[in-house]
Amino acid sequence: MIGKLTGTIDETGSDFAIIDVNGVGYVVQCAARTLSQLPPRGGRMTLFVETQMREDAIRLFGFTTAEEREWFRLLQTVQGVGARVALSILSALSISDLTRAVAFEDKAQVGRSQGVGPKLAARIVAELKDKAAGIAAPIPVAAIGAKPAGAAGEAVSALMNLGYGRAEAQQAVAAIVARDGKDVPLQALIREGLRTLSNAA
């Protein structure tokens, strides 16, 4: 099994790259975001690789970070999400966007991806809520833009009324929801949010 490749970029296409490792060219399927981060032809690059073996083929999928590869694996644990749909999601959404969408169950955000309908988007955010907590990186303040709903939205509003900015309030609530799940009561969200923001001050 191939877990990582380091070599020079020999060729890129709409959904793949060929990376030359000591004279051997490996065809690696990549999301559009991954391809946009690759150096020009001849540039040196390391790709984290997921190897999938089928009866008639061995397919390699490449990612610029190990976290992106973990999301690729995680997405495919959802019924109806195969490699192609997982790559489509990773093409449409950055890791921080995807983390935020799952944390806030923002199915509309996930539904922006090609090949992901409303029902599948809802299934993705529902099933990955707890699973994603172990691999989700902290959500950068600059990436917080979606307006959370329900208790999360009320908690953000309450924290803003207490003098905190929208971005930092949303990040604090997102971290709590990602860690403890969507069913955290409003008062607990506010209390934990205040504790998080106080510790960060």
pLDDT-derived band at 201, boundaries 50, 70, 90 = low
Q: Which DSSP string corresponds to 4-30?
A: EEEEEEEEE-SSEEEEEETTEEEEEEE
Which CATH architecture is the domain 141-200 placed in?
Orthogonal Bundle (1.10)
> Are 184 and 175 contacting, i.e. CB atoms less than 8 angstroms apart?
no
Look at the pTM and tell me if it is higher than 0.75: no
Give me the DSSP letters along 94-108: -HHHHHHHHHTT-HH
The angle at the Cα of 91, spanning 88 to 94, to the nearest 5 degrees, equals 130
CATH class of residue range 4-63 = mainly beta
Q: The domain at 66-134 falls in which architecture?
A: Orthogonal Bundle (1.10)
Boundaries of every domain in the chain: 4-63, 66-134, 141-200
For the segment 137-191, what is each residue's pLDDT rounded down to a tens digit? 444 433 334 455 577 878 888 888 888 877 778 888 888 887 777 778 888 888 8
CB of 173 closer than 8 Å to CB of 159? yes
CA distance 15 to 33: 10
